[in-house]
């Protein structure tokens, strides 16, 4: 193979081939920071003993001030905020479109209240453009149109975007990440980065760089059920609304009757659906898959297969037993599994339910959530035993995004440093966008001042954020 052909690992490898020859980047695949552990059962796994390692030379991608790993609500907001503050930004997303769970996961309603800023910008522009409508819970939108909208926002801000690309590992030295290792159809490449935003939702980058993390329930490590969302169209909304008025919008009584006759074979006991932005088009959030680990490749694959099977069975039941669904059709099944809980960092501070119950005040709040604690039991998917006692809104301090000990890494989104009960409130999309916006602005500040995320002046940061009175 010629040298020219072998340079196709990265878009900039041809231009920088001379530099690559002078500056070799040697990586151990799957474990630049910590040693590869490969299991034939599930791919890269944690703590396995069967392993092999190999070394190879990786092409160097062009460098960036800020590399954002994950293009969901927190990642898109972080990339946009950092770029608007003058940073050179690369946004990496594993799916073929931005938007994360709202788009690829098809949970196409932004919940958690209006945090202003980028969330408000996205919501109002989407409504004005006919992409979304304002429901009583939050903006409900067309995920396909939203993907196109987000493409435009990144291009407008000058964010470089790599879709269908995974951030698979990092190289860390002296408490800092120096390179993010990425993989896509071009192969492996190493991206030099001054600051890194882990917006993966699973603390992937934090875990691979040696940060302190926890996973799942403290007592046994189990995690809340996952969901495969699907959208339906051709729903007779008049008939469905009349049925809801009789039965309640979760159909608890009807589902109980179906369970007693054997017509409802699932471990969950409620029908959850929401109207989207078009008449007759509804999102169904009913499936609850127990026993899925969102950090394990084989387990997630199992979840997708089980989820699609349950989607088909549910639609048979809905058409037969739910007025308004007789002629409904499956419009789309999400290509991304809905994972509510995996890893969380142990950061500068751990926000607890006791803090909220006591009304503890924080001087570094960067956003709020108005969502209740939604964290179903790992074994009983319709039970939500943990309830927050607070003043109606969950504050999000900046410190819960700052992991230890890597100093140029920040983790907005559902992998923040909180206990599980609090996670149930702040894991939804509006607070994730607020965290992302704060993380992106903080990233630009760290690059500009050559400082660690833990040393960011949070009062100066807060002055740049649209933090209002949550009441």
pLDDT at 423: 94
Instruction: List pLDDT tens digits, range 385-428.
Output: 777 766 678 999 999 999 999 999 999 999 999 999 999 999 99
Query: Is the Cα dihedral 364, 366, 367, 373 positive or negative?
Result: negative
Dist. CA 83–CA 213, nearest whole Å = 29
Average pLDDT value over all residues in the chain = 89
Q: Which of 269, 244, 274 is nearest to 259 (CA)?
A: 269
pLDDT of residue 391: 66
What predicted TM-score, i.e. pTM, was given to this entire model?
0.90
At 429 the pLDDT is 96
- 123/134 Cα distance (integer angstroms): 8
Residue spans of alpha helices (H) in 336-382: 353-357
CB 347 within 8 A of CB 403: yes
- From the list 248, 265, 267, 263, the residue with the least C-alpha distance to 383 is 267
So what's the pLDDT on residue 33? 37
Average pLDDT over residues 225-229: 97
Token pair recorded at residue 94:
């594993």
Q: What pLDDT, on a 0 to 100 scale, did the predictor assign at position 15? A: 33
Tell me: the pLDDT tens digits for 293-302?
A: 999 999 999 9
Taken in order 311, 313, 316, 319, is the CA torsion positive or negative? negative
pLDDT in tens, 332-390: 999 999 999 999 999 999 999 999 999 999 999 999 999 988 888 999 989 887 777 66
Asked if residues 308 and 333 have their Cβ atoms less than 8 Å apart, the reply is yes
Mean pLDDT within 29-57: 55
How far apart CA 67 and CA 90 sit, in angstroms, is 5
Asked whether 81 and 89 are in contact (CB, 8 A), the reply is: no
- Give yes or no for residue 432 having a pLDDT over 60: yes
Please state the φ and ψ torsions of residue 360, each to the nearest 5 degrees: -60, 140
Nearest Cα residue to 226 out of 69, 414, 45: 414
């Amino acid at each position: 193979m010629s040298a020219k052909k072998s340079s196709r690992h990265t878009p900039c490898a041809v231009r920088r081939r001379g530099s690559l020859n002078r500056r070799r980047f040697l990586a151990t695949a799957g474990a630049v920071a910590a040693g590869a552990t490969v299991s034939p059962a599930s791919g890269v796994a944690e703590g396995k003993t069967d392993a092999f390692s190999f070394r190879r030379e990786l092409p160097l991608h062009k460098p960036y001030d800020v590399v954002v790993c994950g293009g969901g609500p927190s990642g898109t907001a972080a990339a946009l905020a950092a770029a608007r503050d003058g940073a050179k930004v690369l946004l990496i997303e594993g799916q073929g479109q931005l938007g994360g769970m709202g788009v690829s996961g098809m949970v196409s309603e932004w919940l958690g209240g209006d945090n202003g800023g980028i969330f408000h910008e996205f919501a109002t522009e989407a409504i004005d453009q006919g992409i979304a409508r304002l429901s009583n819970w939050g903006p409900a939108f067309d995920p396909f149109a939203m993907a196109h909208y987000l493409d435009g926002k990144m291009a407008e801000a000058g964010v470089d975007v790599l879709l269908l690309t995974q951030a698979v590992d990092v190289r860390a030295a002296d408490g800092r990440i120096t390179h993010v290792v990425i993989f896509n159809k071009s192969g492996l490449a190493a991206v030099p980065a001054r600051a890194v935003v882990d917006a993966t939702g699973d603390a992937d980058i934090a875990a691979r760089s040696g940060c302190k993390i926890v996973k799942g329930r403290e007592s046994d490590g189990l995690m809340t059920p996952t969901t495969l969302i699907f959208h339906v169209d051709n729903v007779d909304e008049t008939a469905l609304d009349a049925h809801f008025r009789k039965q309640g919008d979760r159909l608890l009584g009807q589902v109980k009757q179906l369970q007693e006759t054997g017509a409802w074979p699932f471990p969950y006991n409620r029908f959850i659906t929401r109207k989207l932005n078009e008449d007759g088009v509804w999102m169904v959030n009913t499936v609850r898959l127990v026993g899925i680990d969102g950090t394990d490749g084989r387990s997630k694959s199992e979840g997708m297969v089980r989820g699609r099977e349950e989607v088909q069975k549910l639609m048979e039941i809905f058409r037969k037993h739910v007025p308004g669904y007789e002629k409904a059709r499956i419009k789309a099944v999400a290509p991304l599994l809905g994972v509510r809980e995996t890893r969380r960092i142990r950061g500068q501070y751990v926000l607890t339910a006791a803090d909220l119950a006591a009304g503890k005040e924080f001087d570094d709040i960067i956003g709020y959530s108005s969502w209740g604690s939604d964290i179903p039991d790992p074994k009983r998917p319709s039970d939500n035993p943990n309830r927050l006692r607070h003043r109606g809104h969950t504050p999000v301090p900046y410190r819960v995004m700052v992991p230890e000990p890597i100093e140029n890494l920040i983790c907005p989104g559902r992998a923040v440093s909180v206990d599980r009960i609090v996670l149930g409130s702040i894991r939804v999309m509006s607070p994730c966008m607020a965290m992302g916006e704060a993380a992106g602005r903080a990233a630009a500040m760290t690059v500009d001042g050559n400082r660690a995320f833990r040393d960011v002046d949070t009062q100066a940061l807060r002055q740049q954020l649209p933090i209002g009175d949550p009441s």
